[in-house]
Chain A
């Protein structure tokens, strides 16, 4: 092993937005690169590629993760949801709310913001607390909670106030 080793290619099936895709991948391929480069699903964005900006956020089995910090071959058999999932009611509602509230400027972080918000709303509905929850057992989703829970998504245009409003609207 080591330098000069034969590069391994793995055959896997990824389920993305309800559709199975057979792929042959170098195991180094991140989930983000598999989505963008192999499946032409370029909605998920590569910002930092180090898990610091959140632009690559997708849902795996309904949970939001940084798709840049995971290998595609680790997600065989799991349901992956991206910004392209038009049939996902929460993602669609968030897309409309971001437009209505002008929750972006350049838009590069927006797919990650929306997937992250969809995951966040599910986490809140499941009763998960956050760092700013004064009561760990009964958190309430106010603006401070939304800001804390969305802190893994950076917007360098600083559209944060309108992002919070858009999410508040969908949260109801």
Chain B
């Protein structure tokens, strides 16, 4: 790791202000992704601001749904009785991700902001436009079976790795933030992550110093909630393809996907469709394989059919 200055700041506004003044600063919460990247010198912040003592670590009822503090640990969110009862797709998605040790440490906001697991992003001997803008994308002609088929560009085909974010995207989550100037705003999760385009190093719409303080969940939509994940081993692996789904009583579906998009992927135009192939046609419109990940296109189609079948059987 490169040397850095460590500061613990116990006030959220002060932390945001400090990070706003220093573009080489990073917040640390769980640290499970940041420290991994710092060891590899993919991240080399000059200052690390420990925000574990700012509060925002509880789950509160709102008139519509829940407000999840940014520092609620993934394990606690998955186990929360209200989440288990009303948003089981979120519990299931969280439990499908990482290991128990990591879920005990990783936070709600950190999960949303985790970086891709693209092999070439992690390999500092290889070109990567996300890590080193302008250097090229080694994944395009390289090993790309884990990469995205939707929302990519000629500059980056990395997939977003989160399971949790897929369920939150389906549930219509909104992110609450605190900016360096002390103002707050709400960002629909759909607008938090941005597509790579020609600047894959920019991954979110957050401003310098802007701190996620909570995630708001609206009332759970009616219907059966499911999360289905395909990965290379039975546990503790990122999604090759995952699908979060809510299937209404009339069979109409709403779905969001992990493993296939440059960000958590959702096609609202497919909402309400009952037929798996029709949903797949809508979701996969514009999907592009890059050789190693061509199989994700038919696999996603089969996953859609499977989750519809799960809803009928279960």
Closest chain B residue to A73, Cβ basis = B6
Q: Number of residue pairs across A and B with beta carbons under 8 Å?
A: 119
The answer on a CB contact under 8 Å between B78 and A152 is no
Closest chain B residue to A131, Cβ basis = B95
Is A103 interfacial (CB 8 A cutoff)? Answer: no
Give the number of residues in A that approach B within 8 Å (Cβ atoms): 44
In whole angstroms, what is the CA distance A74 to B36 when docked? Answer: 16
In whole angstroms, what is the CA distance A129 to B92 when docked? Answer: 9
**Which of the segments A35-43, A61-69, A82-90, A163-171 contacts the partner chain?**
A61-69
Is A161 interfacial (CB 8 A cutoff)? Answer: no
Residues of B within 8 A of A5 (CB): 3, 5, 46
Residues of B within 8 A of A69 (CB): 31-32, 35-36, 102, 105
Residues of A within 8 A of B4 (CB): 8, 27-28
Residues of B within 8 A of A71 (CB): 6, 28, 31, 35, 48
0/1 string, A5-27, CB within 8 A of B gives 1 = 10110100000000000000011
Known: A2-B24, A27-B4, A69-B31. A127 touches B100 (CB 8 A): no
The answer on a CB contact under 8 Å between B3 and A7 is yes
The answer on a CB contact under 8 Å between B35 and A129 is no
The answer on a CB contact under 8 Å between A152 and B102 is yes
Distance between B12 CB and nearest chain A CB, rounded to angstroms: 17
Is A70 interfacial (CB 8 A cutoff)? Answer: yes
Give the number of residues in B that approach A within 8 Å (Cβ atoms): 40
Residues of A within 8 A of B100 (CB): 64, 116, 119-120, 123, 130, 149-152
Is B1 interfacial (CB 8 A cutoff)? Answer: yes
The answer on a CB contact under 8 Å between B91 and A136 is yes
Closest chain B residue to A63, Cβ basis = B104
0/1 string, B221-254, CB within 8 A of A gives 1 = 0000000000000111000000000000000000
B47-82 CB contacts (< 8 Å) to partner A: 47-48, 50, 52, 75, 78-79, 81
Is A44 interfacial (CB 8 A cutoff)? Answer: no
Query: Which A residues contact B (CB, under 8 angstroms)?
Result: 1-2, 5, 7-8, 10, 26-28, 30, 49-51, 54, 57, 63-66, 69-71, 73-74, 116, 119-120, 123, 126-131, 133, 136-137, 147-153
A-B contact pairs, 14 of them (CB 8 A): A2-B24, A5-B3, A50-B39, A51-B99, A70-B32, A129-B78, A129-B84, A133-B95, A136-B84, A137-B81, A137-B84, A147-B235, A148-B235, A152-B98
